[in-house]
Structure 1
Amino acid sequence: MTAPPYSPRTVVDGTPYFPEPYSLNPLPDDLQTGLIPVGVLALLSVLSTLVLITFIIFRMATWKLHYRTFLGYNQYVILVLNLLIADLQQSSAFLISFHWIRTGMILAPSSPCFAQAWLLHSGDVSSGFFVLAIALHTFYTAVHGKRVGQKTFATTVFCIWLFSYFLTGLGVGLHGEKYFVRAGAWCWVSEAYESDRLALHYIWVFLVQFGTVVIYIITFFMLRHKTRQLFALHAATGDRGNGPNIATIKSVNRITKLMTLYPCVYVLLTLPLSAGRMWSMAHHATPYSNAYACVAGAMITSCGWVDSLLYTLTRRKLLRDTMPNAGSSARRTRGSDWDNELGSKGITHTRTVTVEGGQVMDTLAPKDRDYARPPSHPSHSHNVSSATWERPASPTGSIDPILSGRVTPAMKKEAEVGTSEKMKEDPEKSDQITALPKGWVRHRDR
């Protein structure tokens, strides 16, 4: 189907605009009514995301009052924060629907039309990329038991934004003002550029939708397989001191479930509009009904308030499993010290104690294993029988068997340092880890 020409232009209040279908004057009654819930839900998403983004940034600025470690080093929180920013762009685009309702027309080229199309395109793509990033990050930490380096993580976040704006601005650079016009019930990429729609938007959205489903299926089965394998090994050997950490297993499962919610929301709320667009392309640009467009628009603009609600409801559980323990007596840490922090509760690490020659050797991290403390009191001595199967997960550098997928036979017996937790009203200020006795002694490598 050949797209209609952009001329002759229609004049409204002395200003020339594109003719139909690139502009719409007047706005049909069904769109006048259907855009109202779209605008209302967009307003709800804008307000909820703005409030939550402000709250997270405020907590980052005042982190010393609430956490042991800078909140910005929590990669799960940063990924959710960026997803909320992307949702804010997307919902702000649909907020312009109130302008079309007020004027009774959708006109292009115009500033409101360009703003709506830009925010919608960049918001769609960036939110999809961050959903995919959440899925990949969860897979990497839960299955492989590793943590992405801060520099790599920050670079990845920056590249996601850069690539999202590149995909949005490329079409504008190639086609100018003809690229963003009225497309259905709002402004977006012109139907004259279907190949650009596919290459710069649809292919990435469907890649995210399909990719996240595949990633979480793989994550589920790999974790299930590793769990069964390790528990079977434990049952066969009876070696509880070197077996899987149940506390860590539970933490992994909790984090995986929580982070799965965001991709599920994205897929469910964006699929109707994406499917409608693809159906239209498959049927020679046959437009779907205005009613369907408004329902699909109302669903996709709900991503903001639904994601905000999810984070609000799961925030305490997420921080409890991923943030270091709070407390005025705990030393503050920097980003480079995150993986070595004794008091944090990361899901990818285990704090172990090696008993060798009557001495207790506490493993801080792979790079700090030359630190040890000889026992100064009989209560600090441990043997294999004191190892506990239900031991707390620890965030230090050592990797728990449930995450590494293997249990290495050791020449030295290992036992876990017992810890105690004090639950307070605010989970962010709870889970105080009992400090080890003072008087650390540095030993040279043998």
Structure 2
Amino acid sequence: MEWSNIALSERSADFIEANPECGSISPLPRDFREGLTAVCVFSALSFILSSTLWIYLTYKLITWRLRMRARARRLARNMPEPSVIPDLHFAENAAAAAAHERNMQQLRDAKSEAPNQFLILIYNLFLADMHQSGAFVQSASWLRKDGIFIQQPTCFIQGYLDSNGDLASSCFISFIAIHTYLSIVRGYQPPQKILSLLIILVWVLVYSLSTIPLIVTKNGRDVGGFFVRAGAWCWISSAYSELRLTTHYVFIFLSLLVTSVVYIAIFFHLRSRSKRDDMTANVRLSHKPAFLVYVVIYVACTLPLALARVTAMAGKDVPITYYCIAGSMMAANGFFDCVIFGMTRHSIVFGSTQDVDSKNTGLETFSFMRTPAGTFGHEVWIQGGFGRGRGDLSGDGVGRWWPSLRRGNSKGSSSQVHEQSLSQESLRGGSLRGPSLRGVDLRDDMAIHMDVVTSMTVEKRRTQPARDICLFF
């Protein structure tokens, strides 16, 4: 038996007859078909991209966790046991105890090291976007069947995922905004346990707001279903307008308000810091307010459909074409989240697995926010080891570094030649003459020694001579 032919209860049939906008529709009118095609395209892009990044981050987090566990096992295996035989060398005992405590602290850190908090929040945002885009992808079924049938499981799945996805996406966007504010403006990040608890509470809240009304109304037994056709796809029945508002749109509009206010506050805070030349993250906002891109994208994708639903609840007629345009923008929300966070926080999203536990906020990767370099810039050269002019080395080692910058054009230049370095000689096992170098005994210590030389070439205008700055530290 076709799902579309399953009979409704008498009360449900009466409600659907009185409210045909909630019932099944077949065949699809032209505006439905064209609008749902756009919705399917954008939702498919969002679902593919958010799913791909979510799977990638899952692999990245699992790999990092396995590496940390392996490191903890190595530390535990190589950690020497403290001496249990007392002796009269109290100073040596105290030093040994302190060394053992440092080893134990390293072991505890390896076991309890937490991943970057922004990475965890972005990871959950992508999961929420998968819910949201997955709901709109279900519209492909309506196109294939040339109709929207409220008694089919697809209608229930679409409505349930839509409710959870919209709400979860909004909650985590606001969560990221608040966390960014605390990290950048207040210099505070919550403990990892508190963050994990809050994330769990967000998901519990999201699913509770969708599931409890479903249970209380017995899946809309008297109105044809809790999730029925609402415009061009399935969502909460118009018979539960109050539940639509209290369990969904109150939180959506609250999220829009909080996210906008928080990001605007962050923007003005960074702008004031930029004017004081006190930017620890090297972010300059004097040219473009690009930090507000989060607010613009979120509001543009979320607000149109929210306004359409509220307008319909007020008894006004909303054209299907507008629903489909607003739905397409909402369906593209996951795509824009992936692109925006992938670009602005790429050091977190696409960074090395070894950097998963960094405390980086990702703010320094806002390269498109920085003041254009113009005719000024800098180059940093780092060179390890000393030349013969700085230290007396024996042996005829063949390894040599010959870095140089040629003079020319308008740029100043610095050129240095380092012969066989101390680091190279120590690697070969050659002898080092001289009792010490900067307090380090070189006769017995064959570890790698490095003296870092930083050369910065400062560009000047063509009418001025260039100058070189060379820093030794």
TM band (smaller chain):
0.5 to 0.7
**Distance in 2 separating the partners of 1:346 and 1:294:** 35
Closer/same/farther in 2, CA of residues 29 and 347 from structure 1, 3 Å limit: closer
Residue 222 of structure 1 and its aligned partner are, at CA, apart by: 3.2
Distance 1:103 1:222, change over 3 A: same
Q: 1:250 aligns with which of 282, 305, 310?
A: 282
The answer on whether the counterparts of 1:185 and 1:290 sit within 8 Å (CA) in structure 2 is yes
Following the alignment from structure 2 to structure 1, what is the Cα–Cα distance between the partners of residues 149 and 272?
Answer: 56
**2:138 matched residue in structure 1:** 96
Give the 5 Å matches for 1:204-219. 204-219=251-266
Q: Aligned partners of 1:90, 1:277: CA distance in 2, in Å?
A: 17
Q: Is the 8 A contact 2:38 2:328 kept in 1?
A: yes
Q: Is the 8 A contact 2:3 2:152 kept in 1?
A: no
Q: What is the number of residues matched between the two proteins? A: 317
Task: Give me the whole-angstrom Cα distance separating, in 2, the residues matched to 1:379 and 1:220.
Answer: 48
Question: What is the CA-CA distance between 1:220 and the residue it aligns to?
Answer: 2.3
Q: Report Cα offsets for 1:65-108 as digits up to 9, x if no partner.
A: 99999996111111111111111111111111111112222222
Given that residues 109 and 180 in structure 1 are in contact (C-alpha distance below 8 angstroms), is that contact kept between their aligned partners in structure 2? no
Identity of aligned residues (%): 31
Distance change >3 Å, CA 313–CA 12, structure 1 → 2: closer
Change (3 A) 1:157 1:378: same
Residues 166 and 308 of structure 1, relative CA distance in 2, 3 Å threshold: same
Which of 305, 316, 327 aligns to 1:297? It is: 327
Matched residue, 1:288:
318
Contact persistence 2:24–2:149 (CA under 8 A): yes
| 1:136 to partner: Cα distance | 0.3
Paired with 1:132 and 1:325, the residues of 2 have a C-alpha distance of 28
Aligned counterpart, 2:306: 274
Matched, 1:144 2:174: no
1:64/1:201 Cα in 2 relative to 1: closer, same or farther (>3 Å)? closer
Match of 1:250, SS state, is coil
1:350-429 → structure 2 map (5 Å cutoff): 378=438
1:125–1:197 distance in 2 versus 1, CA, 3 Å: same
Which of 91, 115, 121 is equivalent to 1:73?
115
DSSP 3-state at the match of 1:177: coil
Query: Structure 1 CA distance, aligned partners of 2:213 and 2:292?
Result: 33
3-state secondary structure, aligned to 2:48: helix
1:39–1:95 contact (8 Å) kept in structure 2: yes
> In the alignment, what sits opposite 1:401?
none
Match of 2:159 among 112, 117, 121: 117
Query: TM-score normalised to the size of structure 1?
Result: 0.62
**What amino acid maps onto 2:247 in structure 1?**
L
Measure the CA separation in 2 of the matches of 1:272 and 1:133.
Answer: 22
Q: In the aligned structure 2, how far is the partner of 1:77 from the partner of 1:109?
A: 40
Where do residues 306-321 of structure 1 align in structure 2 (5 Å cutoff)?
Answer: 306-318=336-348
**Which is higher, the Rg of structure 1 or of structure 2?**
2
Q: Work out whether residues 150 and 229 of structure 2, in 8 Å CA contact, stay in contact via their aligned partners in 1.
A: yes
Matched residue type, 1:277 = R
Q: CA RMSD in A?
A: 3.8
Quote the Cα distance in structure 2 between the aligned partners of 1:202 and 1:100.
Answer: 26
CA gap of 1:287–1:177, structure 2 versus 1, over 3 A, is: farther
Residue type matched to 1:173 in 2?
A: I
Conservation of the 8 A alpha-carbon contact between 2:228 and 2:234: yes
Q: Secondary structure at the match of 1:176?
A: coil
Structure 1 pair 76–29 and aligned structure 2 pair: CA distance change class (3 A): same
State how far apart, in whole Å, the 1-side matches of 2:207 and 2:135 are. 15
Matched residues in 2 for 1:153 and 1:117: separation? 29
Q: Return the alpha-carbon distance in structure 2 between the equivalents of residues 420 and 347 of structure 1.
A: 25
Name the SS of the counterpart of 2:42 in structure 1.
helix
Q: 1:194 to 1:55 in 2, by over 3 A?
A: same
User: Quick one: structure 1 residues 319 and 56, their matched pair in 2 at CA, closer, same or farther if it must change by over 3 Å?
Assistant: closer
How big is the shift at 1:296? 0.8
Cα distance in 1 for residues equivalent to 2:231 and 2:165: 18
Asked if residue 220 in structure 1 is aligned to residue 263 in structure 2, the reply is no
Q: Are 1:170 and 2:212 an aligned pair?
A: yes
Change (3 A) 1:48 1:324: closer
8 A contact 2:42–2:328 mirrored in 1:
yes
* Aligned-partner residue type, residue 273 of structure 1: L
SS of corresponding position for 2:229: strand
- CA shift digits 1:28-48 (9 cap, x unpaired): 221122211111211111111
Which residue number corresponds to residue 412 of structure 1? none
Letter in 2 for 1:80: I
**Distance in 2 of aligned mates of 1:324 and 1:115:** 36
Which residue matches 2:64?
A: 63
Q: Which amino acid aligns with 1:16?
A: A
Say if 1:189 and 1:197, in contact at 8 Å, map to a contact too: yes
The answer to which of 22-31 and 164-173 deviates more is 22-31
The runs of 5 or more residues in structure 1 that have no matched partner are 1-10, 232-243, 327-332, 349-375, 381-417, 422-436, 438-446
Which amino acid letter does the alignment assign opposite residue 189 of structure 1?
I
Deviates more, 1:267-276 or 1:106-115: 106-115
TM-score (structure 2 length as normaliser): 0.59
In structure 2, do the counterparts of structure 1 residues 345 and 265 end up closer, same or farther at CA, with 3 Å as the change threshold? closer
Q: What CA distance in whole angstroms lies between the structure 2 residues aligned with 1:105 and 1:345?
A: 47
Distance in 1 (alpha carbons) for counterparts of 2:329 and 2:361: 36
